[in-house]
Amino acid sequence: MARLLVGKPVAQKIQEEIKKEIKMLLSRPVLVSIMVGDNASALAYINAQKKVAQDLGIEYQLHKLGTETKETTLIETIKKLNTDHSVNGIIVQMPLPVQIDYKKISQFIHPQKDVEGINPLNMGKIVFGQAEILPCTAAAVMELLNQTDIDLYGKEVVVVGHSEIVGKPLALLLLDKFATITVCHIATSEAGRLEDHVKSADVLVVAVGKANLIKGDWIKEGAVVIDVGINRVGEKIVGDVEFEEAERRASYITPVPAGVGPLTVTMLMRNLLRATKLQQNDL
Ligand code: NDP
């Protein structure tokens, strides 16, 4: 039976370290969160961020813009925040209305204020193994893997999902640990090859957003399973992996929603601390 990789205790430990370091800064860090339009899930995420920020001594400012906001207006808002010395971090909440292209927007957030690690410069630094600011979910997965006794060197690691914020940066971070990486995506499934790849994984990370995509009996005995997926099924929140059967076969597994989720906001705050230090030439 697998050991559970639970996010909260790891998050609490990292938050204690962040809190100590924040007390040593010249001033209290300020995080500006921009929300365009109204969205219940974005609001829930904002409230979670606000609470952690408050606990850590971070000032959290919410800027709300109307649903009809033009892309150029959002870019102007970001540019103003980039040059405002009282602001240390900028986050643009998802989802955005259809007239706004998130990939375009990510280029305008100053790399030293980009607390989500989505600016192309920060993404590019991952390739060189020199990133100070990492995409939050990918960083959360790496922290959870640190909690296991697995040495990634030479291991078969399978990442399912190749999004810009999770799968792609994660594959590069794992490559830096000398794991052998296979990245699966929609075409892997369509070619009927997903099961074979998953069965070969010493470490499996799944970030797709499809309940029960990964069958429990595909999990290799003793594998480490990190399930990033969040899916609502009736009243329940579940991941992308069939949990009960996978738990019987794995050595470690993340429960959903208590695994990766609680760490993501903590990674955002750690990025804010790093961003603030970069701005103060202290990193
Ligand atoms: P995206 O929708 O951006 O990416 C999903 C990925 O899964 C894509 O690469 C897609 O490939 C791939 N995919 C879709 N269908 C299949 C399939 N049948 N077989 C294999 N691959 C498939 O999602 P995100 O990366 O943003 O998020 C993924 C999941 O993680 C979601 O459930 C999200 O809610 C959750 N999440 C959880 C977080 C946490 O803190 N726990 C934080 C962020 C996300 P293609 O594009 O080629 O179709």
Q: Does the Cβ of 137 fall within 6 Å of ligand 1?
A: yes
Mutate to test the pocket of ligand 1, among 185, 215, 241 (most ligand atoms within 8 A of CB): 185
Structure tokens at 142: 């790496």
Q: Which amino acid residue places its CA nearest to atom 21 of ligand 1?
A: 185
Tell me the CA–centroid distance for residue 160 and ligand 1, in Å. Answer: 8
Enter the DSSP assignment of 241.
B
pLDDT tens track for 44-85:
999 999 999 999 999 999 999 999 999 999 999 999 999 999
**Of the candidates 131, 198, 202, the residue with the CA atom closest to the CA atom of residue 169:** 131
pTM value is 0.97
**Of the candidates 188, 254, 168, the residue with the CA atom closest to the CA atom of residue 219:** 254
Enter the DSSP assignment of 2.
P
**Of the candidates 233, 229, 235, the residue with the CA atom closest to the CA atom of residue 255:** 229
Q: Which atom of ligand 1 is nearest to the CA of 259?
A: 41
Q: Does the Cβ of 228 fall within 6 Å of ligand 1?
A: yes
Domains (ranges, CATH) in the chain? Answer: 25-112 (3.40.50.10860), 136-261 (3.40.50.720)
Q: Does the Cβ of 169 fall within 6 Å of ligand 1?
A: no
Which alpha helices (H) appear in the chain, and where do they start and end?
7-23, 40-56, 71-83, 102-106, 120-127, 136-146, 167-175, 186-190, 194-199, 243-249, 261-279
Identify the pLDDT of residue 281: 85
Q: Does the Cβ of 207 fall within 6 Å of ligand 1?
A: yes
The three-state DSSP-derived secondary structure of 91-138 is EECCCCCCCCCHHHHHCCCCCCCECCCCCHHHHHHHHCCCCCCCCHHH
Q: Which atom of ligand 1 is nearest to the CA of 239?
A: 32
Q: Does the Cβ of 163 fall within 6 Å of ligand 1?
A: yes
Q: Which amino acid residue places its CA nearest to atom 6 of ligand 1?
A: 161
User: CB count, 10 Å around CB of 154?
Assistant: 10
pLDDT tens track for 186-209:
999 999 999 999 999 999 999 999
Secondary element (H or E) of residue 206: strand 203-206
Identify the pLDDT of residue 169: 98
Q: Does the Cβ of 160 fall within 6 Å of ligand 1?
A: yes
CA distance 22 to 55: 11
CA triple 80-103-77, angle to 5 deg: 15
Identify the pLDDT of residue 149: 86
Q: Does the Cβ of 113 fall within 6 Å of ligand 1?
A: no
Identify the pLDDT of residue 282: 74
Identify the pLDDT of residue 283: 74
**Of the candidates 108, 110, 88, the residue with the CA atom closest to the CA atom of residue 100:** 108
Residue 227 identity: D
- In the predicted structure, residue 228 carries a pLDDT above the cut 80: yes
Q: Does the Cβ of 167 fall within 6 Å of ligand 1?
A: yes
Q: Which atom of ligand 1 is nearest to the CA of 256?
A: 41
SS3 261: helix
Q: What is the mean pLDDT of the chain?
A: 97
